[in-house]
Amino acid sequence: MSVSKIKALKGERPVVMVTAYTASVASIASRHADILLVGDSLGNVIYGMDTTVSVTMEMMIAHGRAVVKHAGYPLVVVDMPFGSFQESKEQAFRNAARIMKETGCHAVKIEGGIEMAETVAFLTSRGIPVMGHVGLLPQSVNALGGFKVQGRGEEGLDQVLRDARAIAEAGAFSVVLECVASHVAEPVTANISVPTIGIGASNACDGQVLVIDDLIGLTENTPKFVKRYAEVGGQIDQAIKAYSDDVIARSFPEHDTHTFS
């Protein structure tokens, strides 16, 4: 999969994107997804942070490298963490180039609308593919006053539309729409030339993305927009309990099966 192929999917079929943070998940998800996103959501689901604001470049690079190494077919996109691109377009280029060099990923993702258009244009004109991200911006949760649905009312719709259009026209190859009111996705998708990828943005988008831990049932609090396709958390609990019971009963390890002569 490549950036040009992702762009060509608009109007052809929906884009399938899922987050991946580890080698094992990347290997499995690569069989089914068009894009693997090494999201800064790893701060929440792996490191137990309340927000993504504290995620570092080192975290993104370490997990990005693991995913790239075990991703076959999909395009791999790595989030640029908070503070790594907002200061200036030159800062953004240095950090984006570092991420791509040290992980081998195919593109980076940047949160922000009109205010980030100049940065997106600066990066894309210098050979760094960029995925945009508008609507709810988790890195701006403190400024937004919490995780709130965006795009409500005509004014809200107009803001999301202007943000998405600015990022697409600046050269982004796709735009994530996060947690926006249901009437937003269709006009935004119709008015930009690159695929929209929704998360909590309705099926009017050109594709969808979910956090892998939400998708497979590893998180306790499931957002309204998530469909849980498995309950892996319960299976892990049962497996560890069975292991614990065997250890206490001294039935594991078994002498002939799990030991060396």
Give the tens place of pLDDT for each residue, 6-29.
Answer: 999 999 999 999 999 999 999 999
The kind and range of the H/E element at 199 are: strand 196-199
The residue type of 92 is: A
Cα 112 to Cα 70: distance, rounded to the nearest angstrom: 29
CATH architecture for segment(s) 3-230? Alpha-Beta Barrel (3.20)
Which single residue is written with the structure tokens 């008015």?
191
Cα 36 to Cα 19: distance, rounded to the nearest angstrom: 5
> Is there a contact between 43 and 49 (Cβ–Cβ < 8 Å)?
yes
Is residue 4 a known part of a binding site? Answer: no
Q: Is the pLDDT of residue 44 over 70?
A: yes
Query: b/e per residue, 109-138, with b = 16+ CB within 10 A?
Result: bbbbbeebbebbbbbbeeebbbbbbbbbbb
pTM: 0.94
Question: Treating both helix axes as pointing N-terminal to C-terminal, what angle do 117-124 and 153-169 enclose, rounded to 10 degrees?
Answer: 20
178 annotated active-site? yes
The larger pLDDT score, comparing residue 151 to residue 225, is at: 225
Q: Which of 90, 169, 178, 231 is catalytic?
A: 178
Is residue 256 a known part of a binding site? Answer: no
Exposed, middle or buried, 185 (CB in 10 Å: 0-12/13-18/19+)? Answer: buried
Looking at residue 144, its pLDDT comes to 66
Is residue 89 a known part of a binding site? Answer: no
Query: Mean pLDDT of all residues in the chain?
Result: 95
Looking at residue 145, its pLDDT comes to 65
Looking at the chain, the domain(s) classified CATH 3.20.20.60 span 3-230
To the nearest 10°, report the CA torsion of 215, 196, 147, 46.
Answer: 40
Query: What do you get for the CA distance between the two ends of the chain, in Å?
Result: 48
